[in-house]
Structure 1
């Protein structure tokens, strides 16, 4: 189903692309494809473009310069050719190196600029940021956030964001279950191996349910600096034979992973609007998640997911066991979640972006 009003619209999208796969990179790639499919002319300014020449990426301290200079030139050219610039933004150095320059250059060239802020750590970043960071954001034509959680964060700082949620391609998910109905349960985690995603709590919780569900398997699909420590913890907990560290799985293969799963766990300690939860919803996979950040805004405890406190392996294990044992309850919850996630389909979100682009252009005029 097409979204009217895009044909001939000239857009510059500033953001990352896979690899590596990640929430922002995958959303950026998906958004560009959908916009072009509606007839928009999209120019990508990539924030994680390969180093030119390639050997520059091996020079600590200088490699940022080799990426930044071409990036600034690309921004200048794109801002002069587009009707509106759409900047996917995050906290920390990503803000200073990529988002802020894009806003400044767009304003210098008189181009409307939408800041699409997506970071789960917005509150501590902007609370500690110098005043010029706030002034830079305030100079954008529009601030767009994907969740009511981030909307509340930015309103506390005096901004008035517009909410346009993340996009889920429902046609990609909901594949037929790939395992047998009486097979031992398969639990999946699709977060990177970084401290904020707290994979140790999942391992500890899984060790608690394994005696009740012999043969259960846990697949952790992600990469990161914590791999060696997590592998050692799995050995220490005596669950190594039941745990597979699958590494980073390409985004095209994620639907098949969910089709093999009986339960998805989101253990993060900081989060905004995790795509992994929405993908599990779309795949009719029951979800147990921590109740941090923006998660309660997209998952309703007891109706579409079970929410537990962060860093609590006992409560996480109880929730996991509840859904793996009581299959009727898990089925009702996953069907409710599938209905819930329809609000993130392109037909809905694409119309919201069209309104945002037109509003930014008219305000600039």
Structure 2
């Protein structure tokens, strides 16, 4: 059957904030529309109405959940397929699971597009409550071999459909490595300021790098509850004057930030297939990253990036200095990284995703005429 023209209910978060899954949801909805699909976008993080509800932590979920469920129910009556962007924790229970059950009640197939580096821990803790809804999915797609292994361990087959990188936005430019080390290298971290991303380790590593490169600079691009603590840490380490907390950075400015960077640090404690790492590689920025979760499935140590243990600022600083002090090696890793991300361009991901759509749409009795 011809897939384009079908009506898809895409369930997921949207920016702001510009997190990995929110950006992927928005990008996928735009790409599907360009392919000729009719996309009904069901946003799980719509702004609270009225706005003051956001301050009522005990009850605000109800104000978001009730209209969300109503939107799901209405959408399931006019689409042929639900594609659910799913994550671990309460996000699963509040948003993914209800979408699955409503799809089943209304007789449409459902794809669970599972993401999140904490999946293994979440399943160890909550799988008895996750299994009933997950088992109703007609297909489970994941972006990495790491998550494929997590699901296989629990008896659920998946199909790997990688994350999508917009190579028209994130492009490599000429870098200075062939000219020798810079006196004032610019390091960046593009993760939110949350404990799971361990920006503190990046700050501590940066303070070590500053001994060798006193004019080095660090930009932390993201928002989150740890900002105050991180600012105090930067001051305590004596590097506050060299650290910029840029706050939230939209997609357009993010591309410019990568172009200004000499190295990208990813200090996270748990990860799946971090978009930020792919964006850095596509932008021609060498990456030093922790070797957690799905990251070793994404990059190859000493070929496309340098991997270090988590919570180890000394190891991270050593890797940074290795690249800064050896521009030839840095250039080799940079070029290999650029080559490695071409597989994540939409033309390459498209065939995998549309194959899943085609298989499920062939099974549904609801035609395009039924949902006009």
TM-score w.r.t. the length of structure 2 is 0.94
Indicate the residue corresponding to 1:188 in structure 2: 188
- C-alpha distance in 2, partners of 1:57/1:128? 29
Which residue is 2:118 aligned to?
121
Any stretches of 5+ residues in structure 1 without a counterpart?
A: none
Report what 2:226 is aligned to: 226
Which secondary structure does the structure 1 equivalent of 2:219 belong to? strand
CA distance in 1, matches of 2:193, 2:342: 29
Instruction: String of CA shifts for 1:315-343, please: whole Å, max 9, x gaps.
Output: 11110001112111111111111111000
Instruction: Give unmatched runs, 5+ long, in structure 2.
Output: 366-372
Which residue pairs with 2:151 in the alignment?
154
Q: Show the counterpart of 1:213.
A: 213
Cα RMSD (Å) of the superposition? Answer: 1.7
What's the CA shift for 1:26? 0.3
Alignment-derived partner of residue 104 in structure 1: 101
8 A Cα contact 1:141 1:364, kept in partner: no
The yes-or-no answer on 1:84 pairing with 2:81 is yes
- String of CA shifts for 1:270-301, please: whole Å, max 9, x gaps: 00000011001100100000000000001000
Give deviations 1:116-162, integer Å, cap 9, x for gaps: 00011111111111524212101111111110000000100110011
Output the CA distance in 2 between the equivalents of 1:130 and 1:12. Answer: 26
Which position in structure 2 is the counterpart of 1:351? 351
**Match of residue 48 from structure 2:** 51
State how far apart, in whole Å, the 2-side matches of 1:191 and 1:60 are. 25
Aligned partners of 2:192 and 2:363: how far apart in 1?
A: 40
SS of the residue corresponding to residue 172 of structure 1 reads coil
The CA distance in 1 between the partners of 2:53 and 2:187, in whole Å, is 41
Provide the residue aligned with 2:72 in structure 1.
75
Instruction: Rate the CA distance shift 1:321–1:179 in 2: closer, same or farther, 3 A.
Output: closer
Match in the other structure for 1:323: 323
Pick from 4, 10, 14: which aligns with 1:13?
10
Provide the C-alpha distance between the structure 1 equivalents of 2:160 and 2:252, rounded to a whole number of angstroms.
27
* CA positional deviation for 1:189: 0.4
CA 211–199 in structure 1, closer or farther in 2 if over 3 Å, else same: same
Indicate the residue corresponding to 2:167 in structure 1: 170
Contact 1:218/1:242, CA 8 A, preserved across alignment: yes
Aligned to 2:288: 288
Residue 168 of structure 2: SS of its match in structure 1? helix
Per-residue CA deviations over 1:178-200 (Å, capped at 9, x if unaligned) read: 99975611000001111111111
- How many residue pairs are counted as aligned between the two chains? 362
CA distance in 2, matches of 1:49, 1:318: 43
Query: Take 1:44 and 1:166, find their aligned partners in 2: how far apart are those partners?
Result: 18
Q: Is contact 1:6-1:38 (8 Å) kept? A: no
Confirm or deny: 8 A CA contact 1:291 1:309 kept in the other structure: yes
State the secondary structure of the residue aligned to 2:113. Answer: strand
Offset, 1:240: 1.1
1:63: Cα distance to partner?
1.7
C-alpha offsets along residues 246-293 of structure 1, whole Å, 9 cap, x if unaligned?
Answer: 111112211100000000000001000000110011001000000000
Q: After TM superposition, give the deviation of residue 83 of structure 1 in Å.
A: 1.2
SS at match of 1:347: helix
The more displaced of 248-257 and 101-110 is 248-257
- The equivalent residue for 1:332 is 332
